[in-house]
Amino acid sequence: MNALLNRALGERNGAIGLAVLAVIILLIMPLALDIFRLNLVGKYLTYAFAAVGLVMVWGYGGILSLGQGVFFGFGGYCMAMFLKLEASDLTSTAHQTTPGIPDFMDWNQVTQLPMIWQPFHSFAFTVFAIIAVPLLISYVISAAMFKRRVGGVYFSIITQAIAAILTILVVGQQGLTGGINGITDLKTLNGWNINTDSAKYLLYFINGALLLGVIMVCNLVLSSKLGRLLLALRDKEDRVRFSGYDVANFKIFTFCMGAVISAIGGAMFTLQVGFMSPSIIGIVPSIEMVIFAAIGGRMSLVGAVYGTLIVNYGKTAFSESFPSLWLLFMGAMFIGVVMVFPNGLAGLYQSHLNDRVTRLLNRIKKVKSSDQLKVVKAES
């Protein structure tokens, strides 16, 4: 059990990194920021789920998914459908032509709740769907592609096309999805008002804890034999295949895992921000998620979180004051992260700070053990 925990935390250096991140997310941010800003950070942290998923899929699996927003969207839309149904009860929609259905359906002359919406009355089903829908879709996509040994660039382009299709579909089917405006006016979760300040605080903490939990699960996977295999097949796929492994299954596993992680982030996004719209699932947001992971370091789970926070903070700060500079800056980041520092912030940390921190830790440990030695001597 202890060994398992140790692996989930990522040994000593990993545990320190995780602890620092936990303190920043769960202690410093809530103390330093007012609720509006904290809610914004919470929103960024939901993107961090997608970025962490990308570290698994891209950094370790070697599969660049340009459709991470798709799965983020599936999670978000599932949650939004549940919340919307709860918000459209008979009394608050009494003025509609058809009471009891979401308002946008009424505007689009839909008179009956569509089949696909029916099960989302149940919260248990919604939670199940948030995991199961992206899992199923990612499985179908990745199994079809990887079993036929399609990989690399082709896979990226096809995931991008899927993101494009889904956006067109969601925007086009207004009566079913709310169209370009998305699903808005979400109020309560099982009767609990999610728009109050206290609810926002609680959701922020749940989100932060979930994110840390996801990172620990990823650590577990990566430190297992599976994780080593992933690295091996990223570097020399054929060699792993000739050693007798079914390479496709490992790739499918990582891709599905990344998809589910993003979907959890998407569901948390809906809860914290209070709406879901196609602007969050298309090509551009999906590729922005890649830059979050790339800036943080494509091989570092914790780095991905920092990358997400920094890029989004920069986006908000820049686009408030110099909107025209932001795109230039963003473009430069894409180029810079590829040309100059391919391992992102985590790479910079590794090459400049890691040794010092390790030395410092060793010294502390030595001091401690020599203290203990003294105590033991004194007792004897």
Q: Does 180 bind other proteins (CB under 8 A)?
A: no
CB count within 10 Å of CB 158 equals 17
**SS3 (DSSP) at 151:** coil
Q: Does 160 bind other proteins (CB under 8 A)?
A: yes
Q: Does 259 bind other proteins (CB under 8 A)?
A: no
Burial class (CB in 10 A: 0-12, 13-18, 19+), 40: middle
Q: Among 330, 341, 348, 350, which residue sits at the site for other proteins (rule: CB under 8 A)?
A: 330
The three-state (H, E, C) secondary structure of 247-302, written as one string: HHHHHHHHHHHHHHHHHHHHHHHHHHHCCECHHHCCHHHHHHHHHHHHHHCCCCHH
Q: Does 353 bind other proteins (CB under 8 A)?
A: no
- Closest contact distance (angstroms) between CB of 275 and other proteins is 22
- Closest contact distance (angstroms) between CB of 269 and other proteins is 23
Contact mark string toward other proteins, 66..95, x via CB under 8 A: ------------------------------
C-beta closer to other proteins: residue 79 or 170: 170
Q: Among 128, 154, 242, 322, which residue sits at the site for other proteins (rule: CB under 8 A)?
A: 154
Q: Does 321 bind other proteins (CB under 8 A)?
A: no
Number of residues that bind other proteins (CB under 8 A): 41
Cβ-based neighbours of 158, under 8 Å, separated by 6 or more: 141, 145, 150
C-beta closer to other proteins: residue 335 or 376: 335
**SS3 (DSSP) at 214:** helix
Residue 70 has, within 13 A of its CA and on its CB side, a CA count of 28
- Closest contact distance (angstroms) between CB of 202 and other proteins is 37
C-beta closer to other proteins: residue 55 or 264: 55
Among 208, 135, 194, 160, residue whose Cα is nearest residue 63: 160
| Angle in degrees, CA 338, 344, 345, rounded to 5 | 155
Q: How far apart are the first and last CA of the chain?
A: 34
Q: Does 164 bind other proteins (CB under 8 A)?
A: yes
**Distance in angstroms (rounded) separating the CA atoms of residues 268 and 212:** 14
Contact mark string toward other proteins, 22..61, x via CB under 8 A: ------------------------------------x---
| Angle in degrees, CA 190, 29, 2, rounded to 5 | 80
Q: Among 24, 158, 226, 310, which residue sits at the site for other proteins (rule: CB under 8 A)?
A: 158
Rg of the chain (C-alpha set): 23
Q: Among 20, 116, 161, 364, which residue sits at the site for other proteins (rule: CB under 8 A)?
A: 161
Q: Among 157, 317, 357, 367, which residue sits at the site for other proteins (rule: CB under 8 A)?
A: 157
Among 1, 19, 8, residue whose Cα is nearest residue 215: 8
**Distance in angstroms (rounded) separating the CA atoms of residues 369 and 83:** 55
Q: Does 324 bind other proteins (CB under 8 A)?
A: yes
C-beta closer to other proteins: residue 212 or 283: 283
- Closest contact distance (angstroms) between CB of 331 and other proteins is 4
Q: Does 327 bind other proteins (CB under 8 A)?
A: yes
C-beta closer to other proteins: residue 107 or 326: 326
C-beta closer to other proteins: residue 199 or 330: 330
**Distance in angstroms (rounded) separating the CA atoms of residues 102 and 178:** 9
Among 75, 18, 84, residue whose Cα is nearest residue 47: 75
Q: Does 153 bind other proteins (CB under 8 A)?
A: yes
Q: Using the Cα atoms of residue 19, residue 20, residue 25 and residue 26 in order, give the sign of their dihedral.
A: positive
Which residues lie near other proteins (CB under 8 A)?
A: 58, 64, 141, 144-145, 148-150, 152-154, 156-158, 160-162, 164-165, 168-169, 171-172, 283, 287, 290-291, 294, 324, 327-328, 330-335, 337-339, 342
